[in-house]
Amino acid sequence: MNETIPGTLWEPDFLLNGTVPGTLWEPDGGDGPLILVAHGGGQHRGSPAVVGRARMLVAAGFRVAALDAPGSESPMQGPAEGLAERLNRINAEVAARAVPEWKAALDLLAPDGPAGFWGVSMGAVIGLEVLAAEPRITAGVLGLTGARPDLARRITVPIEFALQWDDELVSRESALALFDAFASAEKSLHANPGRHTELPRHEADSAVRFFQRHLRPA
């Protein structure tokens, strides 16, 4: 990636464990709490959704790191497998494989924590795995999934959770049940009309303010 974010210091890509490509964005001065941003299915760390969130976070005083998610090697399970079913299976596989990579990113960039995590859809399934495993993550913005309430029950840090009211890939009931499952004393559900990819822009603004409340950049 060669994009330069205005007003920020561009850092070269880094490699985790010699193989996992990552990008670090830093505000002027290079300081600030770290937010990990995980992309959704079919995206990568340079996708507009990731770069846009990074730009907003950097403007608010955060450092931002994004990794490319592991590829899925899972074959189709035959014609009977529906799209939502297939996505759930692939997301779960990718998320489990991604955990050590995000831990390595923390070791490199915020070894003593605290840090935030922001991911929706497949990125949220990764986030559920990472938040359940990693005490250095102290605040998370997740959404657009109803998977893994078992992991949510182990998560106690503040969560902002986005749900699309007309999501064609995630049932409303499963997403409400996932929100209910978080053990966090502080959690907010934000639901808006629209399909899976129609999360409104004001939810990104809200996510930045959530991280500002909980991670207090200078």
Of 47 and 188, which has the nearer Cβ to a second copy? 188
CB of 143 to a second copy, least distance (A): 13
Cβ atoms within 10 A of the Cβ of 139, count? 23
- 56 binding a second copy? (CB under 8 A): no
Cβ atoms within 10 A of the Cβ of 3, count? 11
CB of 166 to a second copy, least distance (A): 10
CB of 24 to a second copy, least distance (A): 29
Q: How far apart are CA 124 and CA 170, in angstroms?
A: 12
What string marks each residue from 24 to 43 as x (binds a second copy by CB under 8 A) or -? Answer: --------------------
CB of 186 to a second copy, least distance (A): 7
Beta strand 63-67 with 20-27 is antiparallel
Three-state DSSP at 149 gives helix
CB of 192 to a second copy, least distance (A): 5
Question: Where in 88-117 is the site for a second copy (CB under 8 A)?
Answer: none
- Which pairs count as long-range contacts for 86-94, CB under 8 Å and 24+ apart, including other chains? 87/41, 87/122, 87/169, 88/147, 90/41, 90/122, 91/41, 91/121, 91/122, 91/125, 91/145, 91/147, 92/125, 92/147, 92/148, 94/41, 94/69, 94/70, 94/122, 94/125, 94/126
What string marks each residue from 140 to 179 as x (binds a second copy by CB under 8 A) or -? Answer: -----------------------x-x----------x--x
Of 107 and 198, which has the nearer Cβ to a second copy? 198
Pick from 161, 150, 157, 165: which is nearest to 136 by CA?
A: 157
Cβ atoms within 10 A of the Cβ of 145, count? 30
What are 161's two structure tokens? 């959770």
CB of 71 to a second copy, least distance (A): 35
Q: What letter represents residue 104's amino acid?
A: A
Of 31 and 180, which has the nearer Cβ to a second copy? 180
Of 115 and 163, which has the nearer Cβ to a second copy? 163
What string marks each residue from 183 to 202 as x (binds a second copy by CB under 8 A) or -? Answer: -xxxxxxxxxx------x-x
- Give the residues lining the site for a second copy (CB under 8 A): 163, 165, 176, 179-180, 184-193, 200, 202, 205-206, 209, 213
